[in-house]
Amino acid sequence: MKTTQQLSRRTFVKGVVASTVLLSGMTLSAKSNGVKQRQQTRELSGTEFHLTIDKTLVNITGNPSYATTVNGMLQGPTLRWREGDTLTIHVTNNLSESSSIHWHGIILPFHMDGVPSISYEGIAPGETFTYTFTVQQSGTYWYHSHSGFQEQTGVYGAIVIEPKEKDPFAYDREHVLVLSDYSDEKPASIYRKLKLSADYYNFNQRTVGDFFAEVKEKGFLEAFKEREMWNKMRMSDRDLSDVTGYTYTFLMSGQNPASRFSALFKKGEKIRLRFINAAAMTFFDVRIPGLKMHVVAADGNNIQPVDVDEFRIGVAETYDVIVEPQDADAYAIFAQSIDRSGYALGNLTTDAKILADVPPMDPREALTLTDMGMSKDMKKMSGMDMKKSTDMQGMKKPIPLTKLPIKWGVGTTMRAMNPQYRLDDPGVGLRNNGRRVLTYADLRSLRSTKDDRYPDREIILHLTGNMDRYMWSINGIKYSESQPLEFHYGERLRITYINDTMMNHPMHLHGMWSDLESGDENHLVRKHTIISQPGSKISFRVTVDAKGAWAYHCHLLYHMTDMFRKVVVA
């Protein structure tokens, strides 16, 4: 069995080898025509952009591999826009297969959204597609391919949008930190292995010794009942990530832990750090030992500031924080994967030659009855006032429920029997760790939502799956067998997720904002990606103000194929 320490050491050694190759100035020759050499990521600004999607030779682990990149950069160029500007973005596809770029979280006309078969047909090999739209927002966002598994192989980058009106917080300089996961394996191979054996990359399996330890703690009958429940759901309490550090190298702004991304500062400055999770499959737990983080924005939208030691960032989410380094010359920016199989690493430093000590990874924890949606003592485990959260935000009056088709069967072996709102539960691995951890219950919009329109109707979406056979769906129906969801233009809709699986799902509705019910009816926080925790439920509201066809899906890349819906607004 490979331990966390073995896996992290393996990741570090891979990084050292890759760094040695890069530092030696070794040039890797491309073996086929049309292959680019990797370029250093840089920022582009203005109102007109020229982007190319290319096959690019990279070396992340010490072994050369082919990535798909934007302008030859891994990650792609950071695009700096201004609120109110009209943009023209020419994207040329130099691959031998169709490609695309989706502007994640950007409000725009549906035919500019960049989702093949929904927004448009995609960008054919050798062709150029020109996106044009007016920027209606500000903040931190990102872009990525929506074609096949190209997002996994490198087609992603950051977007920073300057506001028309100055942000309500001060800072002296900023850095963009993009978290991602890279593998030398081809994504199709990773997916095939998951379909053959869902725990292929998970070496943190239960042992006989674990069971005897549980018997000693809980007694034989209770320990046996818990094991029986997990077995019936065909799910292991150790399955925190489908794909782990066994094949992934975790990157921060395109750099592995050994080469270490550096963000410079001067003592006494206030530094804005724009965190973006552009990973294909990995949730990260982020902290900067020795520094408090002043969280000022979530998914591009300013919030009432919250001081924390740590936050979990789901796939596709963004958080902006302000830090004020005073004492040390260098601080580690430490982003552990949720399953503790590795980490991305950066260096906040006064001098790129000064490196902060790397903190040890936290112990790996197992899922609990809470995560199964079966706990009899939810209040004790999550710290929530469950009465308040059950009739969420004290809804003024009943909301009509639109019933959707649901299918229980071979693809839905997992089922949450008592799903609860768990907004102030930081999640497995972060509970009671002695640090102040950000939760959704902490998020409150700066704008008042007191007079926002009351929802006209509600729909419930069950997030469903069979982990044993690696099957994912919504309401037990995979995308290829589903009918589009119909939203009515002008309505105010309430959507509730019931997560019947034992995994976190980052759910992304294209084209419209999701106003998360985070506990304060007067300050619903606006997001583009909402994390649905294992065995829980969560609700948000949508003002349906964008006609057209939109994508709606889980943002875990290998779940997206089937945990997906087309939304039609008319």
Tell me the pLDDT tens digit for each residue of 465-519. Answer: 998 899 999 999 999 999 999 999 999 999 999 999 999 999 999 999 999 999 9
Residue count of the chain:
570
Burial of 166 (0-12, 13-18, 19+ CB in 10 A): exposed
The predicted structure's pLDDT at residue 371: 83
Q: Which domain holds residue 156?
A: 34-164
Q: What is the pLDDT of residue 13?
A: 45
Across the range 377-387, mean pLDDT stands at 40
State the average pLDDT over residues 100-116.
98
* Residue 278 maps to a domain: no
**In this structure, is residue 66 part of a structural domain?**
yes
Mean pLDDT of 266-276: 97
Q: Would strands 156-162 and 139-144 be described as parallel, antiparallel, or unpaired?
A: antiparallel
Q: What's the pLDDT tens digit per position in 176-221?
A: 999 999 999 999 999 999 999 998 998 665 554 554 555 566 666 6
CA gap 507, 490 in Å, rounded: 22
pLDDT at 26: 38
Confidence of residue 231 (pLDDT cuts 50, 70, 90): low
The pLDDT assigned to 202 comes to 86
Q: For 281-340, what is each residue's pLDDT tens digit?
A: 999 999 999 999 999 999 999 999 999 999 999 999 999 999 999 989 999 999 999 999
- The most distant pair of C-alpha atoms in the chain lies apart, rounded to whole Å, by 68
pLDDT value of position 33: 62
In 383-534, which ranges are continuous DSSP H helix? 386-390
Q: What's the pLDDT at 366? A: 85
User: What is the pLDDT at residue 414?
Assistant: 86
The 3-state secondary structure of 63-126 reads CEEEEEEECCECCCCEEEEECCCEEEEEEEECCCCCECCEEECCCCCHHHCCCECCCECCECCC
CA distances from 518 to 125, 133, 418, 515 (A): 44, 31, 20, 9
Cβ atoms of 327 and 265 closer than 8 Å: no
**pLDDT for 57 beyond 70:** yes
Using a pLDDT cut of 90, give the percent of the chain over it: 79
Q: What residues contact 320, with CB distance under 8 A and at least 6 apart?
A: 139, 140, 272, 273, 274, 275, 295, 296, 297, 298
| Residue 386: pLDDT over 70 | no
Residue 8 has pLDDT above 60, yes or no: no
Lowest mean pLDDT among 46-50, 117-121, 354-358, 367-371: 367-371
Residue 140 lies in a domain: yes
Handedness of CA 68, 314, 107, 494 (dihedral sign): positive
CATH number of the domain bearing residue 502: 2.60.40.420
Higher local confidence (pLDDT), 368 or 316? 316
Choose among 82, 81, 88, 83: nearest CA to 44. 81
**What does the pLDDT read at residue 380?**
42
Whether 557 is in a domain gets the answer: yes
340 within a domain of the structure (yes/no): no
Residue with tokens 């695009």: 79
Over 70: is that where the pLDDT of 426 sits?
A: yes
The answer as to whether 368 is a domain residue is no
Band of pLDDT at residue 424, cut at 50, 70 and 90: very high
Q: What are phi and psi of 211, to 5 degrees?
A: -65, -45
Residue 489: other Cβ atoms inside 10 A: 11
pLDDT band at 17 (very low <50, low <70, confident <90, very high): very low
318 touches 279 (CB < 8 A): no
Indicate the range of 57-61, 370-374, 416-420 predicted with least confidence. 370-374
Which residues 6+ apart lie within 8 Å of 106 measured at CB? 133, 135, 137, 141, 159
Q: What is the mean pLDDT of the chain?
A: 89
What pLDDT does 388 receive? 40
Smallest Cα–Cα separation from 318: which of 561, 137, 152? 137
Q: Which residue has the higher pLDDT, 284 or 237?
A: 284
**239 in a structural domain:** no
Q: Where is 223: in which H helix or E strand? A: helix 220-232
Q: What is the pLDDT of residue 372?
A: 80
519: tokens are 């506990």
Q: Write b or e for each residue in 189-212: b if 16 or more Cβ atoms lie within 10 A of its Cβ, otherwise e.
A: ebbebbeeebbbbbbbeeeeeeee
Domain count, the chain: 2
Instruction: Give the separation between CA 283 and CA 509, rounded to whole angstroms.
Output: 19
Highest mean pLDDT among 96-100, 367-371, 373-377: 96-100
pLDDT of residue 383: 39
H helix and E strand count, the chain: 6, 33
Q: What pLDDT score does 368 carry?
A: 84
pLDDT of residue 6: 41
| Neighbour order of strands in the sheet with 261-264 | 261-264, 343-349, 330-337, 284-287, 310-313
> Of 110, 135, 164, which marks where a domain is finished?
164
Q: Return all residues near 513 (Cβ < 8 A) that are at least 6 apart.
A: 107, 526, 527, 528, 542, 543
The whole-angstrom separation of Cα 9 and Cα 189 is: 24
Q: What is d(CA 475, CA 499) in angstroms, rounded to the nearest whole number?
A: 10
pLDDT band at 224 (very low <50, low <70, confident <90, very high): low
Instruction: Please give the pLDDT value at position 379.
Output: 42
* pLDDT score for 9: 46
Tell me, what's the pLDDT at 377? Answer: 45
Backbone angles phi, psi at 537, to 5 degrees: -130, 155
Q: What is the CA radius of gyration of the chain?
A: 23
Q: Which among 164, 195, 211 is the end of a domain?
A: 164
* More confident of the two residues 17 and 438: 438
In this prediction, residues 132-154 reach a mean pLDDT of 98
CB atoms within 10 A of CB 214: 17
Q: What is the pTM of this model?
A: 0.90
What percentage of residues in the chain have a pLDDT greater than 70?
84
Q: Which of 141, 164, 187 is the last residue of a domain?
A: 164
Specify if 186 maps to a domain.
no
What is the rounded distance in angstroms from the CA atom of residue 337 to the CA atom of residue 286?
9
